[in-house]
């Protein structure tokens, strides 16, 4: 997935969950942050960031926060991308664990949840929920970085899908290239970890992949070891 032309800036501070202040050529600009996570390890004052211009009169801000430069790696800060990245590789038939499905639909309702993807084919129906991971500690990607009632609800819905005879998957996308493994972040939200492990025991599949990230594009890369 290509970003298009990005604008460089310096991070100043986060204003709220969905807005931050960034210095662009010595002018302070408010930018949209499409990520409700805390991202405290990323959003430090003075850090170089890359912004995606988004035109439109309906917008309060002219930019989205796209990338954060940690020096040794770039991190995608947009939590909307994992769904699109997984769909991109599904269209290209590059995920062998999903062979046998003819087509997929994005943003589907199942029970009380709105899940990211539903696949259909000779294998039946498979529900997939994607999650964005930006936090890494000791080479392990961790999710979530703050309590997530919504995330637990999604996992519980996938467990219900299994009980009703469907296939169900949680797909964690680590939006950086320096992870070797993935694990639920029990320190941030122990209830999510409990729900994920319970779902696994009931048959929900858990996958995690890293990403290749440049200022030009982001792409799903290699599978990561899942530690539950």
Q: Kindly state the tokens that stand for 49.
A: 């960031």
- Residue 69, pLDDT > 90, answer yes
Give CA–CA dist 112/109, Å, rounded. Answer: 7
Rounded CA separation 152/26 (Å) = 42
What is the rounded average pLDDT of the residues 15-27?
Answer: 97
pTM, rounded to two decimals? 0.96
CATH class of the domain defined by 81-226: alpha beta
Residue 91 pLDDT level (bands cut at 50, 70, 90): very high
Report the pLDDT value the prediction gives residue 197, as an integer from 0 to 100: 98
* Predicted confidence band of residue 173 (pLDDT cuts 50, 70, 90): very high
For the cut 90, the answer to whether the pLDDT of residue 111 exceeds it is no
Q: What φ, ψ does residue 198 adopt, rounded to 5°?
A: -65, -45
- Provide the pLDDT for residue 70: 98
pLDDT score recorded for residue 193: 98
The residue-averaged pLDDT of 3-18 equals: 97
Pairing of strands 140-143, 135-137: antiparallel
**Stretch 128-156: mean pLDDT, rounded?**
97
For residue 18, cis peptide bond before it (omega within 30 degrees of 0): no
Which part of the chain is CATH 3.40.1350.60?
81-226
Ramachandran quadrant class, 178 (left: phi over 0; alpha: psi -120 to 50; beta: rest): alpha
Q: pLDDT band for position 221 (50/70/90)?
A: very high
User: What is d(CA 219, CA 81) in angstroms, rounded to the nearest whole number?
Assistant: 10
More confident residue, 25 or 59: 25
Mean of pLDDT values over 180-198: 98
DSSP string, 57-86: TT-S-SEEEEEEE-SS-EEE--TTHHHHHH
Q: Given the DSSP bridges, would you call strands 140-143 and 218-223 parallel, antiparallel or unpaired?
A: unpaired
Query: Are 212 and 221 a contacting pair, CB within 8 Å?
Result: yes
pLDDT band at 58 (very low <50, low <70, confident <90, very high): confident
Question: Which class in CATH covers the domain with range 7-71?
Answer: mainly beta
Q: Tell me what pLDDT residue 123 has.
A: 83
């Amino acid at each position: 997935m290509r970003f298009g032309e990005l604008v460089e800036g310096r991070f100043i501070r986060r204003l709220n969950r969905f807005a931050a202040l960034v210095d662009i050529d010595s002018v302070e600009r408010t930018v949209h942050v499409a990520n409700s996570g805390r991202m405290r390890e990323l959003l430090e004052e003075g850090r170089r960031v890359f912004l995606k211009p988004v035109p439109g009169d309906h917008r309060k801000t002219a930019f989205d926060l796209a990338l954060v430069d940690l020096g040794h790696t770039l991190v995608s800060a947009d939590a909307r991308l994992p769904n699109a990245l997984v769909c991109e590789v599904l269209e290209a038939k590059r995920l062998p664990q999903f062979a046998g499905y003819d087509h997929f639909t994005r943003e589907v309702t199942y029970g009380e949840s709105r899940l990211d993807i539903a696949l259909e084919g000779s294998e039946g129906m498979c529900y997939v929920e994607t999650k964005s991971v930006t936090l890494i500690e000791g080479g392990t990607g961790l999710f979530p970085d703050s309590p997530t009632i919504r995330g637990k609800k999604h996992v519980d819905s996938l467990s219900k899908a299994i009980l009703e005879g469907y296939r169900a998957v949680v797909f964690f996308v680590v939006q950086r290239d320096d992870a070797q493994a993935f694990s639920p972040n029990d320190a941030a939200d122990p209830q999510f970890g409990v729900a994920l492990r319970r779902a696994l025991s009931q048959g929900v599949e858990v996958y995690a992949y890293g990403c290749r990230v440049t200022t030009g594009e982001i792409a799903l890369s290699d599978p990561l070891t899942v530690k539950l």
